[in-house]
Amino acid sequence: MADHQQGWQQKFAQEGIKLPVWAGMTLHDVRRCLIQNLGVMQRCTLEAEAKNPIIVALDGKSWEEILPTLDQLRTTGCILKVNDFAFANGFDNVLPDLSVYGRVMLDLKLHDIKNTIANTCKRIRVHKPWAVTVHASGSKAMMEEAVKTLEGTSTKVLAVTVLTSFDEATCEEVYVRKPWDQVMALARIAKEAGAHGLVCSPEEVKELKRIYPEMTFVVPGVRSPGAAKGDQKRVATPREARDDGADHLVMGRQVLGAEDPVKEVERVMTEELGIAA
């Protein structure tokens, strides 16, 4: 066993904390043990989590690439969104590790038969992520199955309406409807199915929030003024999306690509949203 691992054990013993150590133990293992296993350390204050509306999209990254950033972001209260990362590593492995650093939005965009949805959600409920996404176009029955299977947990079922990467032509190609009409139709079905919230573009959130004020609204395609749009077609600034009713704002490259991700989160919160970081 390395000296630094024994050093961790001795240091925590002085504080009355019995920290188990093992060969190959990392700082991540220490944090996970203190936060999840022993309960003697908070990943973040509840106040910070309650006031931070930013969801950081961890797309296209490996665990080794995102771990240093996760450790920095841990105390900010950001929600962590994963999709391809969860598929690549398996959410049974990913969720316990990610939960050390923040609430997790499992962006699987589930779209399958009811039995498969039930089986998947049974596995998800063990880990209690903040939310899981389903495609509203998968049907009312499919969404009802997700809601029913996750009942009794704190996990929200968020229904994805029309992807923010869809422009009008793509939406008409896929759904034979304009984005606005399709979003409104899917939102109604999601509400009837008991979904806790909706994922929609900045263009629809104001009207949807008016119709369904009790639902949680997650809005992708959020960029600060002057920031690159990337592959998003329907976008807004953090201030615009928040003023129109968004509860949570999905931001990825702007935060992860910043020289100091924590300072960028704090800047968006204070300068653009008027929230004390």
> What are the backbone dihedrals phi and psi of residue 108, each rounded to the nearest 5 degrees, phi first?
-85, -20
Token pair listed for 129? 């992520």
The CA distance from 61 to 45, in Å, is 26
Helices (H), the chain: 3-14, 27-32, 46-51, 63-73, 84-89, 91-98, 114-125, 140-149, 168-175, 179-193, 202-211, 238-243, 253-256, 261-267
Q: Is the dihedral of CA 96, 98, 100, 103 positive or negative?
A: negative
Return d(Cα 233, Cα 248) in angstroms, integer. Answer: 19
Residue 222 has which token pair? Answer: 């959020």
Residue 122 is a catalytic residue: no
CA 132 to chain centre: 8
**CA distances (Å), 247 to each of 37, 73, 139, in order?**
31, 19, 25
Backbone region of residue 139 per phi and psi (left: phi > 0; alpha: psi in -120 to 50; beta: other values): left
Looking at the chain, how many residues does it have?
277
Candidate list 11, 61, 109, 140, residue with the active-site label: 109
Active-site positions read: 109
